[in-house]
């Protein structure tokens, strides 16, 4: 959660001024400066008559925008020259943390584990229900009609949405409308019922009888009961299971996982299609304002969190940066606005993350929240101690140097990291063997710390960056479409790609055959097809190399840190003819959806590194103007709280800002 449950109280309380009137158009995130949004709670609502005091506090904090709910009136904000966004338009249905029968998820799971009844697999609100979908779409259109004259920055469909809760595992949704939609999808995917039965190792007589396996049932098959419908696993046998490609080929029947994988993929599709429909509803009334979501989870087999599919249906996103989620969205949503929420109390933590995400391409921040950052009432309304402590770090995002980073183009290398949702699904199954019957308690909070597949992906990204590379994530569909060759990639790395489609496999083999290209991977890629059916023969020779060995096999880039083990990575930028660099100490990312938490190393010292660059011109520190290097070499002190910004000239630091 963000912090407190009051965060989700309807923002009708925020402001209810008179009816709206037209307001002149203003810049959207794509053509404005860095946006700092204050998430508003009761303090703002109670002091709606003290707008000048609020405006003064906002200026002191560096805030440029506030928020309202779908029925709120932004007139006072706009009269003060502040922008705003519209938050949490659709409720209930998308977020089960509130206004559902499973708001206490832990208690719900504890009770379910006593019976393990499939009756619980029906979601309170079925996303495939046409009646609910029509109501939610109407909510989006109604909000857009109300707010379009005021030109809001953003529409937020919903915060912290999920098919389950967060990315927690559970077998939603067996509702009749959901199963009917699944059967239609399967009929398009499989040429016949016989083909489905062959892939699933089932004996359904009609399409109407088809239903997916629950997680208990697919685990019963993995434990040796191939005819697993309605069966419970041998939990002891399951806990003793271990995945190896050799075991899959030796006993393929128990590894036919399509009855579960197809359902997980369908639920990913369902969430993405729902969001696309709701975005279309808003666009009917307001085609200009970006539509997106807040509080997204790590890539997961659960919750609908296929980040590639979500990226296709969103105009903007505010992700929790758990297990490289921000870098993945950044690769998939280039040129679209990305934000982050900041609730930390430590100014160093806030400064460090603000600068890091600015380098990543964020064009704004959401500050959590008015109840922590403001104090006093009426004429005494002012910044709290926390607000005053954080204000210098926030205001730095409006400096000429920050604007230059915002306006510049970030340069990437032709190095790809493969994103495979099918492999994420299988990794969850394999890693949860050890849980036995307690797999429903493998909550996303646990996964963020202990999911080995996610850690492998995150470690690979970090190792590449600290070696001097700026890689992209490339999705399974992009690989199928030939993106690696079309866009001139020379390296593709596959972190435990357990599953590959036939088209992916052909594209990767073709890429590897081209002279000068490198295809590196851990484990044995493609043991399974993308739907979880095992292949009889290997596609690739198994690798025993570690992430460190794979990265070491790449030639050193021209621009790099020459100090081994420093933990410093490089960002490269271009602004017209100008080039510049940002050197940053290692970032930890987020470890949960609690935005007040932070993970900082014990030591907060500057790090001194040797920096090799690919020109002979003198190099300058763009903060101080001091020359720091020449002839392609520099010794740089990289601060803890913010990056070192280096360039070949120190003038003209003020540029118009744009969101990359």
* pLDDT given for residue 323 in this prediction: 98
> Residues 127-159: pLDDT tens digits?
999 999 999 999 999 999 999 999 999 999 999
CB distance 630 to 616 below 8 Å: yes
* pLDDT given for residue 601 in this prediction: 87
> Residues 288-306: pLDDT tens digits?
999 999 999 999 999 999 9
Report whether pLDDT(49) > 50. yes
CB distance 95 to 158 below 8 Å: yes
Quickly count: other Cβ atoms within 10 Å of residue 348's Cβ: 15
Q: Is 560-647 the same fold as 415-552?
A: no
CA distances from 138 to 10, 131, 156, 363, 598 (A): 18, 11, 15, 30, 38
Look up residue 533 and give its two tokens: 């059916």
Quickly count: other Cβ atoms within 10 Å of residue 528's Cβ: 25
Look up residue 525 and give its two tokens: 């890629």
Which residue in 598, 470, 459, 581 sits closest to 522, CA to CA? 459
With a CB cutoff of 8 Å and minimum separation 6, the contacts of 446 are: none
> Residues 435-452: pLDDT tens digits?
999 999 999 999 999 999
CB distance 308 to 449 below 8 Å: no
Please give the Cα distance from 644 to 356 (Å, whole number).
11
DSSP 65-121: EEEE-TT---HHHHHTT-EEEE---S-SSS-TTSSSTTSSHHHHHHHHHHH--GGGG
Options 3.40.50.10470, 3.30.70.270, 3.40.50.880, 3.90.1150.10; CATH of 415-552 = 3.40.50.880
Please give the Cα distance from 472 to 512 (Å, whole number).
18
Question: What is the share, in percent, of the chain residues with pLDDT greater than 70?
Answer: 94
* pLDDT given for residue 656 in this prediction: 37
> Residues 72-87: pLDDT tens digits?
999 999 999 999 999 9
**Average pLDDT in the chain:** 94
* pLDDT given for residue 652 in this prediction: 52
Please give the Cα distance from 150 to 79 (Å, whole number).
11
DSSP 298-335: -S-SSTT--HHHHHTS-SEEEE---TTHHHHHHHHTTT
* pLDDT given for residue 651 in this prediction: 63
pTM: 0.95
* pLDDT given for residue 70 in this prediction: 98
Q: Find the mean pLDDT for residues 637-656.
A: 80
Strand partners, 342: 367
With a CB cutoff of 8 Å and minimum separation 6, the contacts of 117 are: none
- The residue written with tokens 């949004």 in the block is 37
Between 614 and 30, residue with greater pLDDT:
614
Q: Find the mean pLDDT for residues 173-190.
A: 99
* pLDDT given for residue 600 in this prediction: 86
Q: Find the mean pLDDT for residues 55-84.
A: 96
CB distance 575 to 409 below 8 Å: yes
The full length of the chain comes to 660
> Residues 585-641: pLDDT tens digits?
999 899 888 999 987 888 899 999 999 999 999 999 999 999 999 999 999 999 999
- The residue written with tokens 């808003």 in the block is 282
DSSP summary character for residue 183:
H
Per domain, the residue ranges of the chain are 181-252, 415-552, 560-647
> Residues 387-432: pLDDT tens digits?
999 999 999 999 999 999 999 999 999 999 999 999 999 999 999 9
> Residues 518-530: pLDDT tens digits?
999 999 999 999 9
Kindly calculate the radius of gyration of the chain based on its CA atoms and give it in whole angstroms. Answer: 26
H/E stretch holding 570: strand 568-575
Question: What stretches of 141-219 adopt beta strand conformation (E)?
Answer: 155-159
> Residues 303-339: pLDDT tens digits?
999 999 999 999 999 999 999 999 999 999 999 999 9
* pLDDT given for residue 542 in this prediction: 98
- Specify the fold of 560-647: Immunoglobulin-like (2.60.40)
Alpha helices, DSSP H only, in 514-583? 547-552
Look up residue 579 and give its two tokens: 């080039």
Look up residue 81 and give its two tokens: 């020259």
Please give the Cα distance from 445 to 102 (Å, whole number).
17
Torsion of CA 307, 310, 316, 317, to 10 degrees: -50
């Amino acid at each position: 959660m963000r912090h407190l449950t009051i965060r989700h109280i309807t923002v009708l309380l925020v402001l209810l001024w008179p009816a709206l009137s037209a307001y002149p158009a203003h810049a959207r995130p794509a053509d404005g400066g860095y946006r700092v949004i204050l998430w508003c709670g009761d303090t703002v609502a109670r002091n709606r008559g003290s707008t000048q005091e609020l405006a003064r506090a906002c200026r002191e904090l560096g805030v440029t925008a506030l928020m309202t709910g779908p029925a709120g009136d932004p007139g006072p904000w706009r009269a003060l020259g502040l922008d705003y966004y519209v938050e949490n338009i659709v409720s209930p249905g998308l977020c089960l943390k509130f206004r559902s029968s499973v708001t206490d998820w832990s208690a719900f799971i504890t009770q379910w584990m006593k019976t393990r009844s499939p009756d619980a697999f029906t979601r309170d609100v079925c996303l495939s229900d046409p009646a609910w979908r029509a109501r939610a779409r109407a909510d989006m259109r109604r909000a857009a009609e109300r707010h379009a004259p005021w030109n809001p920055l953003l529409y937020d469909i919903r915060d912290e949405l999920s098919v389950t809760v967060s990315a927690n595992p559970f077998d939603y949704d067996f509702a009749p409308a959901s199963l009917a939609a699944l059967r239609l999808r399967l009929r398009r995917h499989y040429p016949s019922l016989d083909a489905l039965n062959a892939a699933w190792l089932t004996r359904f007589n009609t399409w109407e009888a088809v239903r997916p396996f629950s997680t208990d049932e697919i685990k019963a098959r993995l434990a040796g009961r191939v005819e697993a419908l309605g069966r419970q696993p041998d939990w002891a046998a399951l806990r003793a299971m271990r995945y190896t490609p050799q075991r899959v080929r030796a006993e393929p029947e128990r590894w036919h996982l399509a009855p579960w994988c197809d359902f997980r993929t369908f639920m990913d599709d369902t969430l993405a299609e729902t969001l696309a429909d709701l975005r279309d509803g808003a666009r009917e009334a307001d085609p200009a304002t970006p539509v997106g979501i807040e509080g997204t989870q790590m890539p997961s087999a659960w919750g609908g969190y296929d980040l590639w599919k979500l990226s296709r249906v969103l105009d903007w996103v505010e992700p929790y940066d758990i297990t490289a989620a921000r870098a993945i969205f950044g690769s998939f949503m280039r040129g679209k606005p990305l934000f982050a929420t900041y609730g930390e109390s430590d100014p160093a933590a806030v400064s460090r993350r603000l600068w890091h995400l600015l380098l990543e391409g964020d064009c704004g921040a959401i500050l959590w929240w008015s109840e922590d950052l403001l104090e006093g009432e009426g004429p005494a309304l002012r910044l709290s101690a926390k607000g005053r402590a954080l204000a210098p770090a926030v205001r730095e995002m409006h400096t000429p140097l920050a604007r230059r980073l915002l306006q510049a183009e970030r340069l990437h290398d032709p190095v790809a990291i493969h994103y495979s949702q099918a492999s994420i699904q299988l990794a969850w199954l394999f890693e949860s063997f050890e849980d036995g019957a307690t797999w429903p308690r493998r909550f996303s909070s646990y996964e963020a710390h202990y999911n080995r597949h996610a850690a492998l992906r995150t470690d690979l990204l970090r190792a590449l960056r600290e070696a001097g590379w700026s890689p992209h994530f490339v999705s399974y569909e992009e690989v199928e479409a030939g993106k690696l060759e079309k866009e001139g990639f020379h390296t593709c790395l596959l972190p435990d790609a357990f599953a590959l489609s036939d088209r992916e496999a052909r594209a990767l083999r073709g890429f590897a055959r081209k002279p000068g290209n490198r295809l590196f991977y851990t484990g044995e890629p493609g043991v399974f097809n993308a739907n979880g059916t095992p292949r009889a023969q290997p596609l690739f020779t198994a690798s025993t190399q570690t992430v460190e060995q794979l990265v070491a096999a790449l030639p050193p880039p021209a621009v790099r840190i020459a100090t081994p083990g420093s933990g410093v990575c490089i960002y490269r930028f271009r602004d017209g003819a100008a080039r510049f660099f940002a050197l940053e100490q290692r970032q930890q990312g987020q470890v949960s959806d609690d935005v007040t938490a932070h993970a900082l190393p014990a030591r907060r010292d500057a790090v001194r590194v040797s920096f090799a660059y690919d020109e002979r011109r003198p190099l300058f520190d763009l903060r101080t103007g001091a020359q720091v290097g020449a002839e392609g070499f520099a010794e740089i002190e990289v601060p803890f709280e913010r990056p070192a910004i280096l360039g070949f000239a120190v003038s003209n630091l003020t540029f118009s800002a744009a969101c990359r």
